[in-house]
Structure 1
């Protein structure tokens, strides 16, 4: 009987450990079971999207305000089109704000940082950021420097 109790306790311990690992994996990957809540969609066009991808972070003043839905190539302008879902609670982003691709740390993930403007009108569902700044491409900078195309 004591052996059976020990086996049950060990089994429960292994199940709890598996559940904890699943929880940590979901937290690290950014996946959740809860719905995202009410959002509205805005677009931005970049010459170089760098390492942006779906579920990437969109922040403003260091606070996450949304996430990237998709990154595609616009066939007309040959620019990267980034579609973002912004939380409906953040409904007063000035229309002249700019979207900048930044890197978290030296070698960290890339995300979009919204730099607010001063316009009295706010971005609405389906609007586009007209001022953007593409990702900093270190490999291209090193290549240009090495080939003497670094500029004056």
Structure 2
């Protein structure tokens, strides 16, 4: 009788653990977006999408309004083309809006930040329709490029383009070493 009771407890514990694992999987994958929510398509082309991937959120002010559905390479100019599924509730996006690849925190996931533009039909603006394209995009910042720019700026001081060996010195700047020492060029 004792073994049967312990088997029931083990079975109940395993069932509870299985339910917890299923709950966590659904929570992590944000499965609520697979429900009966209708969406519409938006497209955007970037120079660099960084670590953006299908399923990444599209946010306005931190609120998720859609998801990245696909990332392809444009056959004409070889730029990444991102397609997004936007919730039908948010179908009033002006064509003057901009889209930027951002990162949540220092090492967090990448997402698309949508900055809503203005809508003024007198100025020729319009509301994006299903299949529309956002023209104003800002690519992902590459950490290596930022570090390189920082190191380049700190290494050169204030001189952006140092003069070449044969250039005449600009007033206020020292002459290049090779111009002062003709023996060094030989």
TM-score when scaled to structure 1? 0.89
Matches within 5 A, 1:138-149: 138-146=143-151
Asked if residue 135 in structure 1 is aligned to residue 159 in structure 2, the reply is: no
Deviation at 1:36, TM superposition (A): 5.5
For 1:14-52, what per-residue CA distance to the aligned partner results, in whole angstroms no more than 9, with x for missing partners? Answer: 111122022213322334584251000000000000101
Distance 1:12 1:32 in 2: 27
Deviation at 1:146, TM superposition (A): 4.3
Equivalence for 2:40: 40
Distance 2:33 2:118 in 1: 37
Matches within 5 A, 1:96-107: 96-107=96-107
RMSD: 2.2
Length, aligned pairs only? 152
Per the alignment, do residues 127 and 72 of structure 1 end up closer, same or farther by CA in structure 2, a change over 3 Å counting?
same
Rg comparison, structure with higher value: 2
For 1:47-89, what per-residue CA distance to the aligned partner results, in whole angstroms no more than 9, with x for missing partners? Answer: 0001010111001111000000011111111111000000001
Task: Please identify which structure carries the higher strand content.
Answer: 1
Task: Please identify which structure carries the higher helix content.
Answer: 2
Deviation at 1:142, TM superposition (A): 2.1
Secondary structure at the aligned position of 2:76 is classed as: coil
Deviation at 1:90, TM superposition (A): 0.6
Asked if residue 93 in structure 1 is aligned to residue 104 in structure 2, the reply is: no
Equivalence for 2:128: 123
Unaligned regions of 5+ residues in structure 2, if any? 121-125, 161-186
